[in-house]
């Protein structure tokens, strides 16, 4: 029996917390490949009899890692096409006259692509970065007095935050939302695609509308007239040529899938079944290559990582660590009213993203404990679950390293780290203010 500095927590629970902290630290410091490091820690946990071997792999009994495998396979279908870039050029043709028109063209592109391309990282790499760099290069070359870095910094920040907001808005817009759904089941809460969208639509829409004005105010790019960018957008669109038969088929299939996701409760077809339907259809038509799916390192790495992370949460829960954490946080902020305490709790959760370099590890480490703490404060479980779900995405790009999308857009070289941090902090305050105004006065 070793000395336990955490009263109320079992010895095995203490062991698991220590191992978990080591795991998260190892991931953040990038000591080695995350999957390899997590498996090593799990091995230590089993050798020390902290957990059993079945607990070590309990996360793979969940449907979530396999749903992730399917949605990543679907993402490969979309990224092979020109559908995202085409959509952006269409919006630019009609709205791209000034800086705000161009901004809303980019926002609308992300809005319409997000629900059918279930990877914010894939959207950032295949749509966001090419769009921002090509537009910035064109404007700087054809509009005297506008540098590529000046317009590029504005557009890079704009796209990054559009991506994070839309990842909150649609349940199918971010892979890590599947982790959130898994945690919700622990409090007997099942959220449909439609319910998620209805709950998020008002605050997310407000954020998307005011986003260009806020970023322009912070960065002050001193840009109004962009020249004849609409004609260039149409020229670029025409150069892509007509939609191929394959692209038309892909568009039809994804439209049908989106309708099925939206009507899941009415037609009684789970999200997993709809996703499996799309994958099978693309495989049997030859659009999705089974060999390519099975040989993709990034896909299987993500599935393994997610399964192990879910196992961690299961172990922490089984050993009482999450309940212990809930008690500590509740006692710390319990002297205030329930609403004020929950506000503090949510703010803490939002800014903890500064200490993580990805959504998955952060959600795995903190979503379930913070969810349990919110419930312990007496707040309605839907309010707690959806607030933490929204903040999981909205906080994604508060720094230039906090998620792959932020890293992708920062890699363009347009934005300095200082400007990114300033924009991130302002956006954080804005998001929290709008969300809690919505929660306290409308919901």
Give the per-residue SS3 of 371-430. Answer: HHHHHHCCCCHHHHHHHHHHHHHHCCCCCCCCCHHHHHHHCCCCCCHHHHHHHHHHHHHH
Question: Could you say which DSSP state residue 244 is in?
Answer: P
Read off the pLDDT band of 357 (50, 70, 90): low
Q: Which residue has the higher pLDDT, 384 or 238?
A: 384
**Three-class SS of residue 114?**
coil
Q: Is the pLDDT of residue 27 over 70?
A: no
Q: Which of 8, 207, 183 is nearest to 111 (CA)?
A: 207
The sign of the torsion formed by the CA atoms of 135, 97, 80, 264 equals positive
- Number of H helices and number of E strands within the chain? 23, 0
Digit-coded pLDDT (tens) for 253-268: 888 887 887 777 678 7
Report residue 264 as tokens: 């899941």
Q: Is 29 exposed, middle or buried (0-12, 13-18, 19+ CB in 10 A)?
A: exposed
Q: Determine the Cα–Cα distance for residues 208 and 108; give it in Å rounded to an integer.
A: 9
- What percentage of the chain exceeds 90 in pLDDT? 15
Instruction: List the beta bridge partners of residue 98.
Output: 225
Please, are residues 6 and 14 in contact by the beta-carbon 8 Å criterion?
yes
Read off the pLDDT band of 209 (50, 70, 90): very high
Neighbouring residues of 319: CB distance < 8 A, sequence distance ≥ 6: 10, 12, 13, 16, 50, 51
Q: Is the pLDDT of residue 394 over 80?
A: yes
Digit-coded pLDDT (tens) for 181-191: 878 888 888 88
pTM above threshold 0.85: no
The sign of the torsion formed by the CA atoms of 414, 420, 424, 427 equals negative
Report residue 120 as tokens: 């914010």
Report residue 55 as tokens: 């607990």
Q: Which of 219, 214, 226 is nearest to 146 (CA)?
A: 226
pLDDT value at residue 168: 93
Q: Which residue has the higher pLDDT, 306 or 227?
A: 306
Read off the pLDDT band of 1 (50, 70, 90): very low
The sign of the torsion formed by the CA atoms of 439, 441, 442, 443 equals positive
Please, are residues 426 and 214 in contact by the beta-carbon 8 Å criterion?
yes
Please, are residues 8 and 324 in contact by the beta-carbon 8 Å criterion?
yes
Read off the pLDDT band of 355 (50, 70, 90): low
**Three-class SS of residue 222?**
coil
**Which residue intervals of 220-270 are DSSP H helices?**
229-239, 245-262, 264-267
Instruction: List the beta bridge partners of residue 225.
Output: 98
| Mean pLDDT of the chain, nearest integer | 81
Please, are residues 110 and 145 in contact by the beta-carbon 8 Å criterion?
no
Rank 176-190, 208-222, 238-252 by mean pLDDT and report only the highest. Answer: 208-222
Instruction: List the beta bridge partners of residue 134.
Output: none
Q: Determine the Cα–Cα distance for residues 209 and 160; give it in Å rounded to an integer.
A: 15
Q: Which residue has the higher pLDDT, 1 or 410?
A: 410
Neighbouring residues of 98: CB distance < 8 A, sequence distance ≥ 6: 224, 225, 226
Digit-coded pLDDT (tens) for 128-167: 877 788 777 777 776 676 778 888 888 889 999 999 999 9
């Amino acid at each position: 029996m070793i000395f336990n500095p955490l009263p109320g927590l079992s010895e095995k629970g203490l062991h698991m917390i220590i191992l978990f902290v080591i795991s998260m630290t190892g991931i953040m410091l990038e000591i080695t490949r995350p999957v390899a490091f997590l498996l090593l820690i799990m091995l230590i946990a089993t050798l020390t009899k902290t957990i059993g071997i079945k607990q070590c792999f309990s996360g793979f009994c969940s449907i979530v890692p396999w749903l992730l495998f399917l949605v990543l396979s679907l993402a490969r279908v979309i990224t092979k096409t020109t559908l995202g870039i085409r959509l952006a050029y269409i919006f630019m043709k009609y709205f791209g006259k000034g800086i705000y028109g161009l901004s809303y063209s980019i926002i609308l592109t992300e809005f319409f692509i997000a629900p059918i391309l279930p990877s914010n990282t894939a959207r950032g790499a295949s749509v966001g970065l090419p769009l921002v760099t090509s537009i910035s290069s064109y404007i700087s070359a054809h509009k005297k007095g506008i540098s590529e870095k000046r317009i590029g910094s504005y557009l890079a920040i704009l796209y990054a935050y559009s991506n994070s907001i839309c990842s909150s808005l649609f349940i199918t817009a971010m892979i890590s939302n599947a982790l959130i759904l898994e945690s919700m089941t622990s409090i007997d809460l099942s959220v449909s695609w439609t319910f998620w969208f209805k709950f998020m639509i008002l605050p997310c829409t407000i954020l998307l509308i005011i986003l260009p004005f806020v970023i322009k105010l912070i960065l002050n790019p001193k840009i109004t007239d962009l020249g004849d960018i609409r004609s260039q957008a149409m020229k670029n669109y025409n150069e892509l040529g007509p939609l191929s038969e394959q692209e038309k088929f892909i568009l039809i299939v994804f439209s049908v899938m989106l309708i099925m996701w939206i009507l899941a409760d009415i037609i009684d077809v789970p999200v997993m079944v709809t996703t499996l339907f799309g994958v099978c259809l693309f495989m049997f038509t030859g659009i999705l290559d089974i060999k390519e799916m099975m040989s993709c390192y990034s896909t299987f790495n993500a599935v393994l990582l997610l399964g192990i992370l879910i196992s961690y949460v299961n172990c922490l829960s089984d050993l009482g660590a999450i309940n212990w954490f809930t008690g500590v946080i509740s006692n710390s902020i319990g002297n205030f009213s329930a609403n004020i305490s929950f506000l503090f709790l949510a703010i803490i959760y939002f800014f903890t993203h500064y200490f993580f370099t990805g959504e998955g590890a952060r959600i795995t480490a903190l979503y379930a404990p913070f969810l349990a703490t919110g419930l312990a404060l007496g707040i309605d479980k839907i309010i707690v679950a959806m607030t933490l779900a929204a903040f999981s995405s909205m906080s994604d790009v508060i720094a230039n390293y906090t998620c792959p999308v932020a890293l992708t857009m920062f890699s363009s070289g347009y934005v300095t780290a200082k400007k990114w941090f300033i924009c991130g902090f302002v956006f954080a305050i804005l998001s929290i203010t709008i969300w809690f105004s919505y929660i306290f006065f409308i919901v």
